[in-house]
Amino acid sequence: MKNKLRHYRTVRIENQDGRFTIRGMGKWYHQWRDPYHLLLTIPWVGFAGIVSIAYLLLNALFALAYLAGGDSLEGAKPGSFSDAFFFSVQTLASIGYGAIHPKTFYANSIVTLESIAGLLLIAVLTGLAFARFSRPIAKVLFSQFILITTHNRQPTLTFRVANERHNFILEATAQMYLIIDELTDEGAFMRRIHELKLMRHRTPSLVLTWTIMHSIDSDSPLYGLTASDLEQRHANISILVGGVDETVAYTITARHVYATEDILFEHRFEDIIYTSENGDRYFDYSRFHQVQPLD
């Protein structure tokens, strides 16, 4: 166990603008010990760069192998690294111009090994490229603020989300969690996670917008807490929204974290739906994040 633990460094948790984040979490350059995950999460520019460098190094190694066999390539200058390198490129890509070809058993053996390496390389890169293209990505917009307001004469925590793709997210679900500092009865510090019960945690389809609410009653972990309490106890509210993207039939998940400074008391969202003179209804997404204080 100790040998395994040597590979892990100390994890640093930072408080940035009221949000607790793990340093390096989600960063592709912290995944060198997991190359498959690295190649799936690295930006496309970095992916192309790694593939190109690996391709050049592989051809350079085979070029050195051809040179180690002496004058083993017909049509190539003896001892020419460039000729051996470009012959390796042609072999690995199955181009086969024919200007240079192996003339010894040793060179043919290296060509055989390189052909096998080329097949494996193409198979791996094809799989990685397909996995990157087919990876489901949610396009869910979360409101900038989460509000504690009054709904049906009851204090209510509310925020709204929108489907930026404007297609159907089927069987959309939402989960809300309060993450807050607490002390146990023995005085031990804990970072506790409380699930917040939603008035409606599921909708048949998320097409445009969805206003999600949690009633702050006597059973709610937020009951009786003020803005000062939430700030002193470093409260965060974590949101998970998921469903099935109808276009690609993949399950997608989006997450968002609201810090204490994102929680506004006694405000309400501005209405984004308006009706034209002919009776048509429109959604004005320019007001999606806008709030106003209660009268």
Name the pLDDT band for 59 (thresholds 50, 70, 90): very high
pLDDT-above-70 percentage for the chain: 89
Distance between CA atoms of residues 167 and 159, nearest Å: 21
Collapsing DSSP states into helix, strand and coil, what is residue 248?
Answer: coil
The structural domains of the chain, ordered by start, are 35-134 (1.10.287.70), 140-293 (2.60.40.1400)
Identify the pLDDT of residue 157.
95
Given a cut of 50, is residue 11 above it in pLDDT? no
Lowest mean pLDDT among 10-14, 60-64, 199-203: 10-14
Residue, of 169 and 295, whose pLDDT is higher:
169
Q: What share of the chain is helix, strand, coil (3-state, %, to 5)?
A: 30, 35, 35
Distance between CA atoms of residues 14 and 259, nearest Å: 13
**Which tokens belong to 50?**
């790694």
Identify the pLDDT of residue 271.
87
Name the pLDDT band for 21 (thresholds 50, 70, 90): low
Beta carbons of 199 and 215 less than 8 angstroms apart? yes
pTM (2 d.p.):
0.67
Mean pLDDT for the stretch of residues 147-158: 91
Identify the pLDDT of residue 3.
44
Mean pLDDT for the stretch of residues 206-227: 91
Name the pLDDT band for 2 (thresholds 50, 70, 90): very low
Identify the pLDDT of residue 9.
46
Name the pLDDT band for 254 (thresholds 50, 70, 90): very high
Identify the pLDDT of residue 19.
56
User: Dihedrals φ, ψ of 212, to 5°?
Assistant: -110, 135
Mean pLDDT for the stretch of residues 63-82: 89
